[in-house]
Amino acid sequence: MRFLFFGDCMFGRDGASFTKNPFRFVAEFIRETDFIFLNLETVISPQVLSEAHKTPKTFNYQSTGIQLKKLRSMTRAPIFVSIANNHSLDYGLQGLRATEKFLDDNRILYGQKDHPVTRKGVTFLSATDHCGCHNLKKWGKSVWVIDYNNLEPVLRKIRRISQTTLIVFSIHWGSNWVTRISPKMKHLGRALIDAGAKIVFGHSAHHIPPEPTEIYKGGLIIYGLGDFVNDYAIASDFRSDEALMCTISDRGRVSLVPVRRTFVNSRSSIPIPF
């Protein structure tokens, strides 16, 4: 089985798209893989949602989903996306339900709270350790939020999944602009592998962290790949216009493919391999 992981994907603001197909310059990688994974850092709604649904927070994102339709048209491989992050409820429950409906309509897979989804021998779960909001308890009713002080329910869930399937655990974790991987992230990543996950797919920092990946007891921990697409101003100290794609070959070889985002105009960020 061949795997392809993208970093965070934030396709637009207020329904306006940065670019219709940010995946077109990496089509070769998409064609050659059996499973695709990414973090969906935005609400998706083909009809722009009213401002009335906005959750009070610093940044709220929504886009129409045309980029995922383009990706879906490029491959028949299962596409797994994480919708568990600090933008899951940017437009309240209506935004989350709109995102889920769009993904269902376009045959794109996602985990609902702590319920896994399985296709072709791969089981996918997704969670977050933060919400960027004022009501973490409310967020936790709809999104799987990790409590670092009580990891046992998470680990127990993984242990209960049949070991005949390959488990990919997606986690939106840590702070932005990090100079090191925190001990609690390392502990969680390794604990997930110990419990039976084969790949821990981490994301969130908005740049390539100092330690992007770790091989641990035969499992892969991805601490972060940077942002595959967004419109943020470049943080030069963190080289945030650079990102990685992570590929795993059918022989199990892990490779990190450098990507640079080129800003073709003030509202468009195009990822292109080096």
H/E run at residue 135: none
| pLDDT of res. 270 | 58
List Cα–Cα distances, 78 to 93, 150, 187, in angstroms: 26, 32, 30
| pLDDT of res. 269 | 56
List Cα–Cα distances, 247 to 124, 165, 210, 251, in angstroms: 17, 19, 19, 11
| pLDDT of res. 19 | 80
**pTM recorded for the entire structure:** 0.94
DSSP code at position 236: G
Which domains can be identified in the chain, with CATH numbers? Answer: 3-273 (3.60.21.10)
**Strand, helix or coil for residue 238:** helix
| pLDDT of res. 221 | 98
Residue 49 backbone phi and psi in degrees, to 5: -80, 150
Q: Could you read off the pLDDT tens digit of each residue along the chain, which spans 274 residues?
A: 999 999 999 998 888 777 889 999 899 999 999 999 999 999 999 999 999 999 888 889 999 999 999 999 999 999 999 999 999 999 999 999 999 999 999 999 998 888 999 999 999 999 999 998 888 888 899 999 999 999 999 999 999 998 899 999 999 999 999 999 999 999 999 999 999 999 999 999 999 999 999 999 999 999 999 999 988 878 889 998 899 999 999 999 999 999 987 765 555 555 666 5
- One-letter amino acid of 126: S
Distance of alpha carbon 90 from alpha carbon 246, whole angstroms? 28
Helix intervals (H) in the chain: 27-31, 66-74, 92-105, 136-140, 152-160, 183-195
Instruction: Map tokens 């009809």 to a residue.
Output: 47
